[in-house]
Every structure is written in C-alpha cells, then in structure tokens.
Structure 1
C-alpha cells in the first residue's frame, strides 16, 4: 500500500520553526526509504517524527500521510496494535482516504476490535463503496456475527444499513443472512417499512425459511408469502449456480456450490454427474492444470459426493469418497475437516474403531471445529461404552457449549438425556440469539436414507420436540412447517 511514489506534501514550503523544518527533512528521508522499499529503515524515522512535539505543527496533509504510511508499515510487520493506533489517528483527518480506513479496518480485525471494525466498514460503505471490494465478504460477516454476539446492536445496524445503501453484493446469496439480521434490527426499532425493503433483497432459500418460521418476522413474511417461497428461491439459486459453473469451467468452487444446492433438493445423481469430470481429471493427474482452485476445492467436491451417496443409502460408496477426501491436504496441512466427517460417517454406521482411526490430531482449530471433533469423540466413546471417555467429552462439550449450541444439543440426544435436551431446546427457543437455529432444526424435511444409529437419533429428537412444554414454547415464538428439501447439516 505504501509505494515508491509517496512524497511528503509541504516539502519546500516556508516552515514556522527549525523543529518543523527538521521534521520535514526527516520525513523526506523516510518517504524516500519507503519508495526504495526499505520499510525497516523508514519505520523508526517515521516513529521519531510522530513522537516529536513539532509533529502537530506540520501541515494536516503531511501529518495524515505520515500516520497512514506508518500504519501501513506496522500492519505489514504484523504490529497490529500499533497499526490500529496509527490508523485511528490517520482517519481522524479530513484528508483521510478509503485506503486509510481499510488499513484501520484490517488492523481492527487483527486486534479483535469488532466495534471499530464495524465503524470502519460503515465509513467505507458510505464514502468509498468501491473499496469494499478489498474486503472479503467472510470478513464482513465475521464482524457482523461478532457484533451480534456482543450485542453491539447500534454499531451493527449502522454498518449493515450502510452496506445495504451502498448496494453491497457478495456473490451468490450466501450472505443474505446479513439482510435478514438488519431487517430484524429494524423491526425491533419500529422501522417496519425499512425492514420490508431490506427483506426484498433476500434470495437465499435457507434465509427465507428461517424468517417464515420465526414470528419476529411476521410483519414482513405474512404480507408477502410468495417472496419467501423456499422451493422457488432454491430453484433460482440452482439456476444461478449452473450459470456460474458454465461461466467458470476452470473453477471447482462453482461446482461445489452447485453440489450444495442440489443436495438440498435431493438431486443426488446430479451431484455426482456434475463432478465426474473433476474426478476424472484428478485420476489422470491433471487436476491442478485444469482447475485454478483444485488444491483448495477438490476435497470438498469429494465431500459432497460422499454426502449425496449417503443420502441414497450407498454407505460403502460414501465411505470410499470421504476417505479419498480425507487423504487430501487441507490448507497445505492435515485434512481435519474431512477426517472429522469420515469419523462421523463411521459412527453413523456404528463402526467406532474405524471412526477413531480416521481422526487426525489437529493443529489450530476454531472453537466450532473443536466442538465438532469432541462430539465425534463422544459418539465413539458411547458406541464403545467407555464411561470415562464419555464423561470427559460430555464435560468438554458442556463447558464450551456456547461455541456451538446445536452440537451440545446433539450431544445430549446422543447421550440419551432427553430431559436435558428438552430443557436446552426450550432455552434456545427463548433466547433471541439461539432461536433461529432451534426453529430451523425443528422443521419437517424431505426424507433421506438413514442408518439405524441415525434413526435412533431422529426418534429421540421427535420425542423431545413433541413434549408439551417444548410445543408451548414453540407456539409463542415460531411455527413448524414441512419443506421439500433435505434438512440442513449442522
């Protein structure tokens, strides 16, 4: 971001003091060093000028440039707290640019200052919306979810509204959940008309489903049910994904995206057929040459093939495909994701020894990933009747339940503690932050093949959801409908 063309504004002007003149000369040298690619030399030179009392006497444009370039260097050197402090000062100037606000945003993310990150996104969206292309949609979603968990509703609402007003697009409709949550915030602030306008942008079938079953959204959904037709929206998503596959024949991510949607509609044969070419290229050894994202995406293409085969009851074939996926690297290292999925498949087949052998020791994992891993280990322990391991894994899952409350729900079912499972479900329905996930899980979905182990889990879940106290709580906050799609995976 700091390039060779940078030169301090104001050099050569008459200066009010010897100190200011000296500071200007020092900056001239520092910017020259930056232009020559010697940031290591420039950093202490910039720090010295910024710390000097004479810094405040420099022209505003020069002070902005100095703080901005110093922030860029600190960010590149992974001195994130320093970069954040400098970027905050830089963006306080009228001369601040979208690039400066973007540096502040990245520094805020690295220092986990999510409220400030939200303010940065808001500022960029309002003044330099084209700069949003420099921010990954996942990063913006991460900020939103962090703000939601922290109940920073004012910052969150301002950020989301600025994104909406800027007509921010994230590709496909995977981030429509942001518009759903903005609509809810507006409903809660008695801005029903604005909420209805925001909701019109929603094209994601699962987001629409989560709204039509949640009574908080009734002011929007009851008046225009056709806009929340799940089957219609999912079919439109499939057609969009088909077009993306055709437009980008060198990208497997597009294939995987289409696989995801076809699985939801139960079109399992097509999930396999659209990915047969990728498998053929992999077997010939020219996958890397054929697809630009082969190393990142091929394991997930195989993952989805396994899932489609499992939904057809072709268990041996499903194991074969997931095994192939698990043997491939993930992010350049051991494949933790597919190893967990393979182990989970073996536990569904009541083969705990094979499940245990499938698990690889992970390195760094997200809190959600740790919950998934511990749940699989719990399944193995239960199927082996290992009381000590059961207690240990249940203790971990309970302690960390807020990292993934749906996994804790499944753990209670797997453990056979239906009273606790019902109490948790009621708690989730009553808690605004957990309600949507609980309602989505309670819906009735299309049939897919199940193993005896999976059928037992379904029977326990049905026993829990049919309890009078659960039904009474449900009636207050939502409703259950039947949808002709496969139940979402959790």
Structure 2
C-alpha cells in the first residue's frame, strides 16, 4: 500500500510513473543537485522528477524533489501539487530512513482531512523509530478514532504494548486506552490494559464508567490486582464481584489455555501453544513444556510472518527456562544463545539478548553477561528494556569488581527506576542491599501508581524446583527485605496478601 501511495503522491506532484517504486537500500542521499536545480521552473523540475522516477533513479529523484520543496515559487504552486510533493518527500525520507526529516513532512500530510490511513501508519512507524512513544500513542489514538475499520488490521501485540506502556505521558495513554474500549476492541491478553483504564477513570472521578471494565479483566494476575488492592474495594462491590477464589481463577485460566492450544491449527497455533507452555512452566511441569516445545520447534520455521517467527523465538526462550529448571544448564544456555541470534520483527532481538545476559548472570558468568548486553541502549530498546539491560550490566559489573561500569549502571537505574521497578529492586539485591530493597518497597507502597507492582511481588508465590547460586542470593535479599515489619505494615495498609498457586515471575 505504501508503494501505491508513492505513485499517487508522484502523480499529484506532476510526475506520474508507470509503476510503484522498489526503493534501493538506505543511502546518504546527496541533495546538492537540488540547489542547482532551483534555477529551473517548478514545472521543469516536476518533469525532471517524472523522468527520474520512470528509470528508478531514486537518489536523483530525491534531490529533485528536495529542490521542488525548497523552490521559492513552491508556496504559489496549486495546493494539490504542493500536497503531493510534501507527501512524496515525506514517504521518500521515511523509506530512506531519514526519520527526523520525514516526521515534520508526515505530520503536515496527516493534518489534511483526506490523507489516507496508510500515511498515518507510516507516521507511526517513523515516530517509533525516533523512540517517541507518547507521539506514537497519540497517533494510534487518532487512527483508531478516525479509521475504525483499520483496527482489526493492527497488531494486537503492538496495541497491548502501547496501551499498557508505563513510559507514556498519562493523558495520551488514557486517551488510547479509552479509544480502544470505545471502538469495541477486545482481546483476551488485554486484562492489564483494562486494569489501567480502570485506574485512569477512578483518578478522574469517573468510577461509574469503570464498573463495566471489571468484567473484561479476565487474567488471574490482573484479577488478583483488583481483589488485593483495597483502593478497588468500592468498585468491586459495585461491579458485584464475589470473594476471590485464587486457586479456581488460575485453574480456569490454565484450562482455557490448554483448550486453546489443543484447538489451534496451522502456523498460528504456535502462539497459542506458547501461552500454554508458559502456563505449564508456571506449574513446574517442565518435562511437559520440553516435550511440547520440541514438537513445536520440529515444524518448519516460517520466517515470512513476523508474528509466527516471534512466537517460535519465545518458544525457544521458554524451552530454555524449562531446561534450567531441569538442571540441564548447558542445553539451556545453547537454546538461549540460539534464540538471541533470531530477529525480532526484522530487528535485532533485544529481548532475547537481555534474557541471554540474565541467564549468564544466573550461571555465574558475569563477563559473558556484560558482553551480551553491552550494545543495548535507548536506540535499541524501550525504556523498560533499557532498564533490564542496565540491570544485567550493573549486576555483572558488580560481580566482576568493575566499579566504573557498575557506578554508571546504578546511577542510570537510580534515575530511571520507574521505567522498570522490578529491575531496580533486583539490581539492589545483586549488591545484597537489604535496606535499599526495603526502602524501595516502602516508596512503592506509598505511591498509588507503584503500589500494584510492589503488592504483586509480596504475594506468596510457589518456588521454582531448582535455583542457581545467583538465584538464591537474590531471593534471600528480597525475602529478608519483604519480611521487615515496616514493609509488611505498609503492604497491609493498602492491600491484602494472597497465596498464589503458580511460580512467581522471572526475568
């Protein structure tokens, strides 16, 4: 569709082409020729542009189009042709990965009422490349509201990620969640999106609007949050919620995952099977995880569909975790190393590289852990992902006695800890700092925006069957900090504790 838009924009600019372009790889395009071309008339430049597009000389076309846009007579050109040139230049800059130049052009193009949704999607891609997640959120909200028919085509993983992001400005985040709800978008994996929307509405004294959302919170982990935190008590009563049977909730969810995995067919079955494998992993049924993972990975690798390929990668990750639980450490490491070499939606697989770094930490291989995450920064990962990578970096540097790297890593985490509180807590535990972990828990419990994460950590979760020496050190610090009377009292003031029938969360 983007190539079709390219052809339309070229036509509007007065440079019709026979077919849509196949752009060359990104290059450092030289627009200097455009400066010399400014002595020509706009119509001459448009004809020149058409010829360049006809022979697929896109570097020259880019320079000519830049000259058209900078021409002193451009403002007097007919509106339709001006808009075509602006749109075409924005699309070309985006395709050539000149994102900072592309964005203002695409913002201008999307200000026109007739601009199609595909241009908005290109704008979103550019905003994502520039790591402006608040801008992405605002643009997504506009797409959902203005082009509701596009909603089923949007990646559910991307929607859940953006609607649940903690590093987006509060008002745009609320607007996106509300837009999804009002558009009728529903997804079994979106429970925490609706829990966040409940919080949004309660903060705005719109609790009555939050009541129907309670029924959409179907994940047992999210249900646990609503029943545990006392701030929801009045809402839950109004919603007619009964006493929470935590065992029944998790068992019902487990059976749902099992049935979905058994019913799924074709390549898309990998995602459902992975969800069920994760449920098995949480119940310590590691041999079953391994058997299902082996059967799934024996199928042909469909790399043409990014979502299917991503599901396969996460099956590899989960298989590695099961192998760790079974004490087969060398095999687990080999599996995680393999997962880390795969792409993630055609990009470097930062998630698996971070997980590989964490696995090296668990195995006491600090130098390898440091190497695994050394290149991961804000240009490669979300703020949450960066915190996790820096956590690995800080813990590894502490173990190696590398004070320079350790100091830099811990300074970053101290400043950005709200991007991933759990990463900061475990980084403090790496240093054996019980008092600092307890202080963090107290700060979180006193903050309504942070209390849910701290309360979830303080439930009684089932323990893994096997821990490494590193795991035991971290667990001992966290356990001691959370057993302090002042921390327990702070928890009890805002929440009630549950015993949960699954293994607690891992990195």
CA distance in 1, matches of 2:408, 2:205: 42
Structure 2 residue 337 is matched with structure 1 residue 326:
yes
Cα RMSD of the aligned pairs, angstroms, is 3.8
Which residue of the partner structure matches residue 260 of structure 1? 278
Q: 1:151-300 counterparts in 2 under 5 A? A: 152-168=169-185, 173=189, 175-222=190-237, 223-225=239-241, 230-231=249-250, 234-235=253-254, 237-239=256-258, 241-243=260-262, 246-249=264-267, 252-278=270-296, 281=298, 288=301, 300=314
Q: CA deviation at 1:57?
A: 4.2
Q: CA deviation at 1:157?
A: 1.5
| Structure 2: runs of 5+ lacking an equivalent | 16-37
Q: CA deviation at 1:125?
A: 0.3
CA distance in 2, matches of 1:266, 1:31: 64
Q: C-alpha offsets along residues 3-27 of structure 1, whole Å, 9 cap, x if unaligned?
A: 3742545979xxxxxx9x9545644
Which residue of the partner structure matches residue 27 of structure 2? none
Which residue of the partner structure matches residue 406 of structure 2? 393
- Residue 224 to residue 56, structure 1, CA distance change in 2 (3 Å): farther
Which residue of the partner structure matches residue 427 of structure 2? 411
- Residue 472 to residue 60, structure 1, CA distance change in 2 (3 Å): farther
| Structure 1: runs of 5+ lacking an equivalent | 13-18, 347-351, 382-387
* Partners of 2:442 and 2:487 within 8 A in 1: yes
Q: CA deviation at 1:278?
A: 4.2
- Residue 343 to residue 107, structure 1, CA distance change in 2 (3 Å): closer
- Residue 466 to residue 345, structure 1, CA distance change in 2 (3 Å): closer
**Which of residues 307, 312, 315 in structure 2 aligns to 1:301?**
315
**Which of residues 88, 93, 112 in structure 2 aligns to 1:74?**
93
- Residue 378 to residue 156, structure 1, CA distance change in 2 (3 Å): same
* Partners of 2:323 and 2:331 within 8 A in 1: no
The TM-score with structure 2 as length reference comes to 0.76
* Partners of 2:391 and 2:409 within 8 A in 1: no
- Residue 35 to residue 235, structure 1, CA distance change in 2 (3 Å): farther
Q: C-alpha offsets along residues 322-353 of structure 1, whole Å, 9 cap, x if unaligned?
A: 3343256523689734532432332xxxxx3x
CA distance in 2, matches of 1:413, 1:358: 17
CA distance in 2, matches of 1:418, 1:478: 22
CA distance in 1, matches of 2:241, 2:285: 26
CA distance in 2, matches of 1:290, 1:105: 24
* Partners of 2:320 and 2:333 within 8 A in 1: yes
* Partners of 1:265 and 1:484 within 8 A in 2: yes
The TM-score with structure 1 as length reference comes to 0.79
* Partners of 1:414 and 1:457 within 8 A in 2: yes
**Which of residues 469, 476, 484 in structure 1 aligns to 2:493?**
476
Q: C-alpha offsets along residues 174-196 of structure 1, whole Å, 9 cap, x if unaligned?
A: x4332222221111111223222
Q: CA deviation at 1:292?
A: 7.5
* Partners of 2:387 and 2:413 within 8 A in 1: no
Q: CA deviation at 1:78?
A: 1.0
CA distance in 1, matches of 2:137, 2:309: 33
